[in-house]
Structure 1
Amino acid sequence: MLFELMRSSRRFVWGLFLVLFATSFLVAPFSDSLVSQAFANEEEAVATEGATEAVESNEWKPQPPPNLELKDYPVVAGFNGRIVVWFVAQLHLFFAAFVLGVPIFVWVIEIIGVLTKDERYDRMAHEFQKVAMTGFSLAASFGGLLTLSLLTFYPDFMKYMASVFGETMIYYALMFFVESFFLYTYYYGWDKMKEGKAKYLHIALGLGLNMSGLVIMLLSNSWTSFMMSPAGLDEAGAFAGSTYAAMHNFLWSPLNIHRFIANIAYGGSLTAAYAAYKFLTAEKAADKAHYDWMGYTSFLVAVVGLLPLPFAGYWLTKEVYDYSQQMGITLMGGVFAWLFIMQAVLIGAIFLSANYYLWCSLGRSHGADRFRRMIPPLAWVIVIAFLLWFTPHTLVMTSKELSQIGGAHHPILGVFGVMAAKNTSVNTLILATFLSYQIFSRSNVRFVGDNFWAKNGTVIQVALYGAAMTNIVGLGVYSYFIPASVRIGLSVPQVVTTVVVLVVATIIDLLMSKHSEELGESKWGNMPVRSQYAL
C-alpha cells in the first residue's frame, strides 16, 4: 500500500529530491572541516615527538569561529545576501509553521470524531490535512532554496555552524524522511483506514507525524537560538565538543514554547481563512453551513493558541533581556522599534478581529438578544487596551523630531509605553476575548433547576472578573511608583491572575452546563459576509 501511496504523489518524489540536494550541501562543509583537521593532525604528528599516539587516539581540536571581513561575503549577481536570505527564510517559515501546526489539531479533531462517532469531524479533519499537503511541498521547496542561499552568501558562517551542529543537521535530514513517510501515509491512507482497527493505526500514524515534526522544530530552533545566545563554546568561541550544550542554550526552551503555541494559532488562523473563502464561494445552504462550522472550529483552535501566546512571547523577551540587555533594548527600543510597534498593532488587530467574529456569531443563536447590550462597553475596553498595547515608549528619532517632542519620550503618551501599561493591557485583552467567547457560548442556552451552580455560577464569575481586573489594573498603576528592578516582578501576579480566571471560569462553565438546555438548534450558515472577512 505504501508503494502505491508514494507512486501516486509527485510531491513525495520532489520532496525527497530536495532533501537529498540540501543534505549533500549540509554535509559537505562539515566533512571538509573534518578532513582538513585530520590532515592538520597528521602533519603535526610527523613534526612532533610522541604525536603518533595522539593521532591514533583521534584527538579532536575545536574549530574557532571565522574572523570575517566584508570582502569575505560573496556578492552574487548584485543581490543583497541579507535580503535574499531573509526573504527565503520568511517564506520557508510561513509554510513550515503551517505544516507543523495543522496536523496537531487535525489529529485531535480526528480523535474527537472517533470518540463522538460523528462523521463531520472526520470529514473536516481530512479537509484540513488536504490544505496542509500543499504547504508541505512549498515548505520543502523553500527549505532547499534557503539552504542554497545560505551556502552561497554565507559559506564561512555555514562551515562554522556545521562544525557545531553537523551531527544534528544529519538527524534533521533523516527526520525529514521520517516525517515524509508519516505525512503521505497518513493523508493518502485516510479513506483506506477509516473504520475498525485500521482507524487506530491511522491515529498512530498521526501521532508519529506530529512527533517527527516536533523533533524537526526543536532541532532547527536550536540553531536559531544558538545564533542569539551561543552556548557550549570555549573562551575563544570554538565548539567545546558537547552538541547538547550547544543545543540547550539560553533561549532554546522559550523559543520552543513560543513557536509551538504560535504554530497552532497560525495553523488555525489559516484554515479558518480557507473555510471563510469556501463559505463566501459556496452556493448551497448545506455547504455554507458546513464551512461555517469548519471556520468556527478553526477559529477556536486559533484562539486556544492565541490566548497563551502573549505569555510565551513575554517569557521569550524576558529571557532575551536576561541574556543580553542590549539585545533586548535593540529589539524593543532601538533600530527595530518600529517593527516591534508594527507587530504590536498586528497582534491587537488579531484580538479585535477575534472578538468581532464572536460578536457576529451571536447571529447563530436564539437567545443572543440578552447579551447584545454588553457588546458596546466590551468593545470600548478592548479598543482602549489595544491603544495602550502598541503605544511606544522610545523611538529612533531625528534631532528635529526630538526637539519638537521635547525629549526622547512623549510628555503625555510616554508613560503608556512602559511594560507596566503593556502588561496590564494585554492581560485585559485576553480576559475580554475570553469573556466574548463565554457570551457566545451562553447565547443559545438557559440554565434550569435549583442546582447551586445553575443559580449562582454567573454571579461568581462576575465577581471573579471584577476581582481580577481590580488586581491587574491595581498592580499596573502601583508599578509606576516602585523601582524598575521590582516592577518587572509584578508581571507574574498579573499573569497568574489571568490564568486563574481562565481556568476557574471554564470549570464553572462546565459545572453550569450540566444544568442547561439549548434554546434551539444552532443556525449554522447564518453569518454575515463581514464575519468571514474578519476570519
Structure 2
Amino acid sequence: MKPRTSASSQGPRGGRDCAWTVLCTLTLLGLLAALPAEAQEAATEPAYRAFPLIGSRLAVWAVAQLHLNFAAFILGVPIFAVIIEIVGWRTGEGRYDWLSHELVKLTFAAFSTTALLGALLLFLFVGYYPRFWTYMTSIFFPTYWIYALLFFAETFTVYLWYYGWDWLAGPRKWIHVGLGVLSNLFGTAILVVANSWVTFMISPAGITESGALKGSVWAAINNFTWMPINIHRLIANIVFGGTIAAAYAAFRFLAAKTDEERARYDWMGYIGNFVALSAFIVLPFAGYYLGREIYAFNQTMGITMMGGFMSWLWIIQAILIGILFLGSNYYLWLGMERIPGSERYRKYVPPMLIVLTLGFMIWATPRSLVVTLDEARAMGGTHHPVLGVLGVMSAKNTVVNLMILTTFLSYILYRRANKVPTKPWVRTGMAVQWAAFGLAGAVVVFYGVYGYFVESIVRIGFSVYQVVAVLGALVLVMALDIPMFRGARSTGTIRWGTIAPRSQYVLILLAVTFTWLMGLMGFARSGIRQHWHVYGVMRDTSVDAVTPALGYAANVITLVTIAFFALVMFIFWLGGLAEKGTASAHGHAPAPAIAGGRAPDA
C-alpha cells in the first residue's frame, strides 16, 4: 500500500482555507458582541432599508438559500463520513477510510463559503431589517452566543479531524473517530439552535400578547414546529449531502482518465446514492410529522399551506419527488448491469416501473384545475369529474407509501444481485419478507380507500397507520435479509467502473432536483406566514409585504440553484486542481477492484 498523501502537507492552500474560516468565525463573534448596541440604535432607525436594484427581500432570500444549501452540505456529509470511517476502522478495509477522507475533504472545501455567506446574511438582516432583528434579538440573544461558540468549536474540531488523519492513525484511530463524532454533535447542535429562530417565526411561543418574552428563552425555543423541523432538516441534510457527494463522484467519474479512477468514483457514487436513498425513504414521514404540527398550531395556516394559494406548490413538489424516486430506482437498475447474476431479478423491473409511474401520475394530479369559466361550467366545477378523486390526500398518501415500498424493493434486489443464500431457512425467510411487503401494501391501500369515507380529522390520523405499516415492513425485511445473505455464495464480483456513463448524469440530476426541492420547501415554509415576520405577532409592513407568485418564486429558486451549483462546480474544480502534480492523488488507500470486489453490506 502506498503512503497516504498527508492532509497536513497540502501546502498553503489548506492554511488559507483555515485562515478564511477563522476570520469569518471571529467576524461573526464580533458582530454578535455588537448586537445589543445595534439593537438600541435600531429603535430610532427606520424599520426597513431598501437594497439597491433587487430589493431587500430578494437579497435576503437569495443569500439565505445559498447559505442554507452549503450549511446542509457541511452538516449532512460529516454524519455519514464518520459512519463510513468507523466501518473502515472496524473492518480494516482501506477503501472506507479513503472514502471518508474524500468526503471530509469536500466538507472542508465548502466550510469557508458557508461561513462567508452566513456573515453576509447577518449583515443583511441587521442592515436592512433592523426592527425585525431587534425583536428577534430581544427574544433569542442568549442563543446567539451559544450558536457562535458552537460554530467556533465545530470549526476547530473539523480542522483537527481533517488535518489529523495521518497523525491519529493506527492505535490512535479511536481518537480520530471521536473527533468526527464530536464535530457531528457540534454541527447538529448548531442546526437545532438555528432552527429555534426559524420555527419561532412560524409558530411563536413563550411570549405575551404584546410579543415580549415571558419567562425563559426555552419556552420560545420549544415551540410547536421546532422538533419537527429539527428531525426533518436533519434527515434532509443527510439526503442532500449524499446527493452532492454522489454528484461529485459522477463529476470525477466522467472526467476520469483511467479504469482505476472510474472504479473508485463509481463506488463512491454508489455509496453517496445509497446514503441519500436510505434517508430519502424516511423523509416523507418526517414531513407528515411537520405538517401535523403546523395544523395543530394553527389550522388556518395548515389550510393555507395545503389547500389555499399554495396548493399548486405541492403539485410541483410531487413532480420533483417523482423525479427523485424514478431517478434513484433507475440508477439502481443500471447498477445491476455491472453485477453478475443480477439477470434473474430483471423481470421485476417492469412491474416496479409501472407502480412508480402510476404513483407519480396520481401524486401529481391536482385537486382543482386551472380552467376557464366555460370549462368549469362544463365540468360542473373546478374539480375534474374523474381525476378529481385522485387529487385529495388519501390518494397521494397511498401512492407515496407504495412508491417507498417499491424503491425499498429495488434496493433489496440490488443488494442480493450477486448472492445466493445458503441458510436452511431461506425459503421461510423469503416468504415472510414477501408477506411483509404484501401486508404493508394492503394496509396502505385499505386506509387510503377508507379515507374517502371519513371526516378530514379522522383521515389525517390514517396516515399514521400507513407510515407504521411501511416502516414495520422495511425493518422486518431488512432484519431478515442481513442474516439470510451473510456468508452467501457469490455469483461473481462487481465490475466497478463499468456502469453506463448515463448513470452519472442521473446522479447529477438527483442532486440538482433535490437542491431545487429544498428551495421550494423553504419558500413554502416562509410563505405560509404570508404578511408576518413572526406569525400573528410582528407584521411585515415593508414594500415587499406580499407573498410572491409561484412563478416568480420558481424563477428565484432556479437562479439560486444555478448559483449554488456554479459555486459547487468551482469547489469541485479546485479539489481536482489541488491533486494535479502529486504522484498519486489517492494512493493512500486501495480503490475498489475494477473487475472484483463485492458490494458493501450497507
Normalised TM-score (structure 1): 0.89
**Residues 64-104 of structure 1: per-residue CA shift (max 9 Å, x gap):** xx999xx7321132432111111110000110000000011
- CA separation in 2, counterparts of 1:496 and 1:523? 38
Contact residue 371 and residue 439 of structure 1 kept, 8 A? yes
Correspondence for 1:372 among 335, 341, 346: 346
2:62 to 68, 87, 92: 87
Counterpart AA for 1:364: R
Q: Tell whether the 8 Å contact from 2:204 to 2:220 is kept in structure 1 after alignment.
A: yes
Which residue matches 2:326? Answer: 352
Counterpart code for 1:429: M
- 2:209 maps to what in 1? 235
2:340/2:418 contact within 8 Å kept: yes
The change in CA–CA distance for 1:151 and 1:4 in structure 2 (over 3 A counts) is farther
Structure 1 distance, partners of 2:271, 2:445, is 33
Structure 2 residue runs without a partner (length 5+): 1-6, 508-602
Deviates more, 1:278-287 or 1:244-253: 278-287
TM-superposition CA deviations, 1:113-147 (whole Å, max 9, x none): 01000111101110111111122111111111111
Deviation at 1:525, TM superposition (A): 1.3
Could you tell me which residue of structure 1 aligns to residue 284 of structure 2?
Answer: 310
Is 1:388–2:362 an aligned residue pair? yes
Q: Distance in 2 between the 1:6 and 1:165 partners?
A: 41
Cα distance in 2, alignment partners of residues 235 and 374 from structure 1: 59
Which of 15, 22, 29 is matched with 1:23 structurally?
29
Equivalent residues, number: 501
Counterparts of 1:505 and 1:4, CA distance in 2: 46
What pairs with 1:229-378 in structure 2 (closer than 5 Å)?
229-378=203-352
1:498 pairs with 2:470 = yes
Q: 1:114 to 1:29 in 2, by over 3 A?
A: closer
Distance 1:394 1:151 in 2: 42
> Residues 398 and 241 (structure 1 numbering): CA distance in 2 closer, same or farther, change over 3 Å?
farther
Match of 1:40 in 2: none
Give percent identity, aligned residues only.
Answer: 44
CA distance in 2, matches of 1:81, 1:404: 45
CA 1:148–1:405: 2 relative to 1, 3 Å? farther
Q: Which moved more, 1:275-284 or 1:390-399?
A: 390-399
Aligned residue runs from structure 1 range 150-189, under 5 A: 150-189=125-164
Q: Is the 8 A contact 1:337 1:395 kept in 2?
A: no
TM superposition shift of 1:287:
1.3
Match of 2:96 among 113, 121, 134: 121
1:138–1:514 distance in 2 versus 1, CA, 3 Å: same
Aligned 8 A contact 2:420 2:485 in 1: no
1:2-13 map, 5 Å: 8-13=14-19
**2:79 maps to 1:104:** yes
Answer yes or no: is 1:415 the counterpart of 2:421: no
Distance 1:167 1:396, change over 3 A: farther
State the alpha-carbon separation in 2 of the partners of residues 274 and 375 from structure 1.
Answer: 28
Q: What secondary structure, in the 3-state scheme, does the structure 2 residue paired with 1:72 have?
A: coil
2:422/2:489 contact within 8 Å kept:
yes
Aligned-pair CA distance for 1:241: 3.6
3-state DSSP of counterpart to 2:169: coil
Q: Matched residues in 1 for 2:373 and 2:198: separation?
A: 36
Q: 1: CA distance between counterparts of 2:49 and 2:40? A: 24
Structure 1: segments with no counterpart, 5+ residues: 37-65
CA distance in 2, matches of 1:100, 1:327: 30
Task: Name the counterpart of 2:183.
Answer: 209
1:469 corresponding residue in structure 2: 441
Q: Secondary structure at the match of 2:170?
A: coil
Establish whether residue 459 from structure 1 lines up as the match of residue 431 from structure 2.
Answer: yes
Output one character per residue of 1:373-425: Cα deviation in whole Å (capped at 9) or x when no partner: 11011100011111122222246777677557642433322221211111101
Give the deviation of 1:14 after TM superposition.
1.8
Tell whether 2:119 aligns with 1:144.
yes
C-alpha separation in 1, matches of 2:373 and 2:128:
36
The letter of the residue matching 2:171 is G
Question: Which amino acid in structure 2 is aligned with residue 318 of structure 1?
Answer: R
* 2:495 alignment partner AA: K
Q: How much does 1:368 deviate? A: 1.3
**TM-fit CA distance, 1:4:** 10
Alignment-derived partner of residue 63 in structure 1: none
Supply the distance in 2 between the matched residues of 1:400 and 1:87 (Cα, whole angstroms).
40
Q: Report the 3-state secondary structure (helix = DSSP H, G, I; strand = E; otherwise coil) of the residue aligned with 1:307.
A: helix
Q: Which has the higher contact order (CA 8 A, sep 6+)?
A: 2
What's 1:514 paired with?
486
Cα distance in 2 for residues equivalent to 1:308 and 1:176: 28
Taking structure 1 as reference, are residues 210 and 331 closer, same or farther at Cα in structure 2, changes over 3 Å only? same
DSSP 3-state at the match of 1:238: coil
- How far, CA to CA, are the matches of 2:156 and 2:504 in structure 1? 35
Q: Which moved more, 1:96-105 or 1:279-288?
A: 279-288
Task: After superposing the two structures, state which structure 1 stretch, 328-337 or 230-239, moved more.
Answer: 328-337
Q: Given that residues 74 and 111 in structure 2 are in contact (C-alpha distance below 8 angstroms), is that contact kept between their aligned partners in structure 1?
A: yes
User: Which amino acid is the alignment partner of residue 98 of structure 1?
Assistant: F
What letter matches 1:529 in structure 2? P
Asked which structure has the greater CA Rg, the reply is 1
Note the alpha carbon deviations across 1:416-464, whole angstroms, 9 max, x for none: 1211111101111110000001111121011235x12x23222222222
Q: Tell me the distance in 1 between the aligned counterparts of 2:19 and 2:139.
A: 30
Aligned-residue offset at 1:111: 0.6
Taking the aligned partners of 2:300 and 2:229, their CA distance within structure 1 comes to 19
Shift of 1:286: 1.4
> CA separation of 1:31/1:419 partners in 2, compared to 1, >3 Å: closer, same or farther?
same
Amino acid at match of 2:227: S
**AA partner of residue 192 (structure 2):** L
- Aligned partners of 1:142, 1:463: CA distance in 2, in Å? 51
Measure how far apart 1:193 and its partner are. Answer: 1.7
Offset of residue 32 of structure 1: 5.2
2:145, 2:372 → 1: CA distance? 48
Q: Distance in 1 between matches of 2:457 and 2:85?
A: 48
| Shift of residue 178, structure 1, vs aligned partner | 0.6
How far is the alpha carbon of 1:171 from its aligned partner?
A: 1.3
* Residue 75 in structure 1 maps to residue 50 in structure 2: yes
Question: Given that residues 27 and 166 in structure 1 are in contact (C-alpha distance below 8 angstroms), is that contact kept between their aligned partners in structure 2?
Answer: no
Deviation, structure 1 residue 3: 11
Amino acid paired to 1:164: I
